[in-house]
Amino acid sequence: MPEDWPEYRGEALRLGILASGKGSNFTAIVQAISAQKLPAVITGVVYNNPGAAVSQRAQAAGVKTQLINHRDYPDREAFDAAIVHTLRQWGTEWVIMAGWMRQATAVLLEPFGTRILNIHPSLLPAFPGLQAVERALQAGVKITGCTVHRVVLAVDSGPIVAQAAVPVLPADTVATLHARIQVQEHRLYPQAILWAAVGNC
Ligand code: GRF
């Protein structure tokens, strides 16, 4: 992916965010919009864990939030149907998973087609799934990073939009390595959204 922002002349992208936890990628997207680098509006944030810090971040940014707790639904399809209903009410065009810890079903994927993105803390296809940073450290790789990809049914397997590499340093712990990866995530994700929207990757 080029290091700059692509030219985009369309309407503001209508982004619905799905997040389960801290929400630092959400904040990076908000900041890119405020800085007028990413021509987008955030239609709202769906979060699934009561008390997830992303909900406070969203409220502070003046962004709508909706708690949709997967524990309240009989199966993954019913949960995803509730998410689609909310995203549609908000007029969402792009689904942006930002630390979303639930596996998507066809119920969520079909209405949005290729307009669903995720960010993962490894250089996919290495270390898909949970604990990617821990497993990279344990494997002794010297370079890891993060990947923005389109979402398909198989976890962390969709077409890659953009990647950033991060060196693994000898003294790294999971926390220090993840923090260094997140610096790259926050730079990469807003740009990758726009690259995906212009259709170049
Ligand atoms: C990120 O490292 C992302 O790659 C992974 O979950 C983490 C979310 O971080 N999918 P945050 O909630 O955006 O701070």
- Dist CA 160 CA 163 (whole Å): 8
99 lines ligand 1 (CB under 6 A): yes
Q: Tokens 């969402």 belong to which residue?
A: 92
Main-chain dihedrals φ then ψ at residue 41, nearest 5 degrees: -125, 145
Mutation test of ligand 1: which of 118, 130, 185, 189 has the most ligand atoms closer than 8 Å to its C-beta? Answer: 185
Instruction: Give the residue-averaged pLDDT of 97-112.
Output: 98
* Active-site residue, 120 included: yes
Beta bridge partners of 146: 164
Per annotation, catalytic residue among 70, 120, 149, 178: 120
- Could you say which DSSP state residue 33 is in? H
Distances (CA, A) of 160 to 22, 117, 163: 24, 10, 8
Banded pLDDT at 4 (limits 50, 70, 90): confident
pLDDT at 1 over 70: no
Residue type, 191: Q
* Index of the ligand 1 atom closest to the CA of residue 119: 4
Look over the chain and give the mean of its residue pLDDT values, rounded to a whole number.
97
* Index of the ligand 1 atom closest to the CA of residue 24: 14
pLDDT at 201 over 80: no
Ligand 1 centroid–CA 98 distance in Å is 6
61-97 pLDDT, tens digit per residue, is 999 999 999 999 999 999 999 999 999 999 999 999 9
98 lines ligand 1 (CB under 6 A): yes
pLDDT at 17: 99
Instruction: Give the residue-averaged pLDDT of 9-15.
Output: 95
157-182 pLDDT, tens digit per residue, is 999 999 999 999 999 999 999 999 99
pLDDT at 117: 98
Instruction: Give the residue-averaged pLDDT of 15-41.
Output: 98
The model carries a pTM of: 0.96
- Could you say which DSSP state residue 153 is in? S
- Dist CA 140 CA 176 (whole Å): 15
- Dist CA 119 CA 126 (whole Å): 14
186 lines ligand 1 (CB under 6 A): no
The helix (run of H) or strand (run of E) holding residue 186 is: helix 174-198
Banded pLDDT at 113 (limits 50, 70, 90): very high
* Index of the ligand 1 atom closest to the CA of residue 19: 12
Please answer whether residues 149 and 124 qualify as being in contact, where contact means their C-beta atoms are separated by less than 8 angstroms. Answer: yes
User: Going by C-beta distance under 8 Å and a sequence separation of 6 or more, which residues neighbour residue 195?
Assistant: 1, 6, 161, 162, 201
pLDDT at 200: 63
pLDDT at 3: 61
Banded pLDDT at 31 (limits 50, 70, 90): very high
